[in-house]
Amino acid sequence: MENKYNPGDKVRILQRNQPGHVRTPIYVRGKTGVIERVVGSFPNPELLAYGNPGLPYKMLYRVNFRQSELWPDYGGPSSDTLEIEIYEHWMAPA
């Protein structure tokens, strides 16, 4: 399975209005970060949660964000970051 993004790519997390089980927390939606690594492909948890085999597999990445990007009133230094796992279908190139 080919990964669409590579480490160093800038990505924006989509604002999907998707009910049910999702693993993309609201606090990163609409935010721009950088791909830290390609983790690999995994069964889709959005389907696994309902007893479905979770096919087709989805590509998973670790994305790095500046905390000041995530929280408008972040109290710490601008160099503080957060890294989180995001599936490919939740991203677009930034």
Partner 1 sequence: MSNHHDHDHGPTHTHDGKPIQEDELPSIEAQILETSVRELLIEKGVVSGEDIRRAIEAMDSRGESLGAKIVVRAWMDPEFKERLLNSSDDAIREFGINMSPMELCVVENTDEVHNMVVCTLCSCYPRPILGIPPAWYKRRDYRARAVREPRAVLQEFGTKLPDGKQVRVHDSNADLRYLVLPKRPAGTEDWTADQLEALVTRDSMIGVSDVRRPEEAAA
**Single residue of 7, 30, 40, 56 touching partner 1 by CB under 8 A:** 40
What residues contact residue 75 under an 8 Å CB cut-off, 6+ apart?
A: none
Q: Total number of residues binding partner 1 (CB under 8 A)?
A: 24
Taking CB under 8 A as the criterion, which residues in 62-91 touch partner 1?
62, 67, 70-71, 75-77, 79-87
What are φ and ψ of residue 15, in 5° steps?
-100, 75
> What is the Cα–Cα distance from 81 to 66, expressed in whole angstroms?
4
Instruction: Please report, as ranges, the residues that interact with partner 1 according to CB under 8 A.
Output: 23, 25, 27, 39-40, 42, 45, 60, 62, 67, 70-71, 75-77, 79-87
